[in-house]
Structure 1
Amino acid sequence: MAKEKAKKQRKERDTPLSERQIRFIAEYMRTGNGAASAVAAGYSDKTPAAQARRLLKNPLIAKRMRELTNSFVSSKVADVREILEFLTSAMRGEVLEPLQVNYKIEMVKPPVKTRVSAAKEILKRYPTDEMSKAQIRKILADARLSEAKAKQLEENGHDVDDSLASVLSKIKSADEKTTK
């Protein structure tokens, strides 16, 4: 009877999570401690670790935790565009930084050294010289070559472990011949 009442209450709230599950999520997101979060949410303190494992395996709880994490990350963490815009404004001297002058704090443009450093950081993300472009092409070519070799081994039915075992056995037999 109690389970039916709880199900009915969940449907009325239009959420598939119970109040205790919501409290568990909030506590777990705050502390990262499953057992302590289960007890704080109102679950039994006899087997809190097992209860936390069950809760964390629940797909609805995992989904809600991902949603909360994604919303937090998206609003709190700078994306690439924001970082590049900041570096550009620092390079141009548009951002001001505090400088103490005679017991007074004044906001001044960043020194040339800081502006040059910002310009270098921008250039790292957009290589323009031929040497950098050649290095990138070489890295990409090496990656493609490695992928092609791995694909060829897979297609020919060779496994990397089998190839390694074959090489090791040849080395071992060569060692045995030299020791005799």
Structure 2
Amino acid sequence: MMTPKQQKFCDEYIKTGNATQSAINAGYSKKTAKQIGQENLTKLDLKVYIDERLKTISDNTIATAEETLGILTKIVRGEHTEQVTTAEGEIIEKHPDTNQVIKASAEILKRYPLAKDININGNISTNNPFADLTVEELRMLASKGD
């Protein structure tokens, strides 16, 4: 069972990542803070508490891979907009430009390569209907979506 001082140490450690400073902030003696901090990090119940709190924090604040891919997909499809201010001071909704679409597409493709196989001659076989298009042709297609 964790004491209130140990819980304070854990909460401070989650904030700082520094065992010695966390021990001092929790009320341990400065003389023994380094030793106590290191000992506290080896105690199973404290480690479990820290790990659970860090997981909760990351679950609530860090975008998941699914969320990130969802945003990238919206950019590629032109469904994501951002507010921009024009030279006249008017705020408008702007769709992604071609470069943003290409960058988002590249990020998605890093995770889902389209190549089925590479033969001995180095030719790549894909199931991508756009694979044979030039960059200019892809840009023309992307601009038609604006």
TM-score, structure 1 as length reference: 0.60
Give the number of the structure whose residues are more often helix, by fraction.
1
Who is 1:146 aligned against?
Answer: none
Who is 1:83 aligned against?
Answer: 68
Alignment RMSD, CA only? 1.7
Cα offset for 1:23? 0.6
Structure 1: gaps of 5 or more residues? 1-15, 136-180
What is the total number of aligned residue pairs between the two structures?
A: 118
Structure 2: gaps of 5 or more residues? 120-146
Residue by residue over 1:127-166, the C-alpha shift from the partner in whole angstroms, topping out at 9 and shown as x without a partner, is 2235xx339xxxxxxxxxxxxxxxxxxxxxxxxxxxxxxx
Give yes or no for the alignment of 1:95 onto 2:80: yes
Show the 5 A alignment for 1:43-58: 43-58=28-43
Cα offset for 1:115? 1.5
> In the alignment, which of 123, 147, 150 is matched to residue 109 of structure 2?
123
Give the number of the structure whose residues are more often strand, by fraction.
2
Who is 1:25 aligned against?
Answer: 10
What amino acid sits opposite 2:46 in the alignment? I
Percent sequence identity is 31
Show the 5 A alignment for 1:1-180: 16-101=1-86, 102-130=88-116, 133-134=117-118
Q: How far apart, CA to CA, are the structure 2 residues paired with 1:25 and 1:104? A: 49
| Rg larger in structure | 1
What amino acid sits opposite 1:123 in the alignment? L
Cα offset for 1:99? 2.3
What amino acid sits opposite 1:31 in the alignment? T
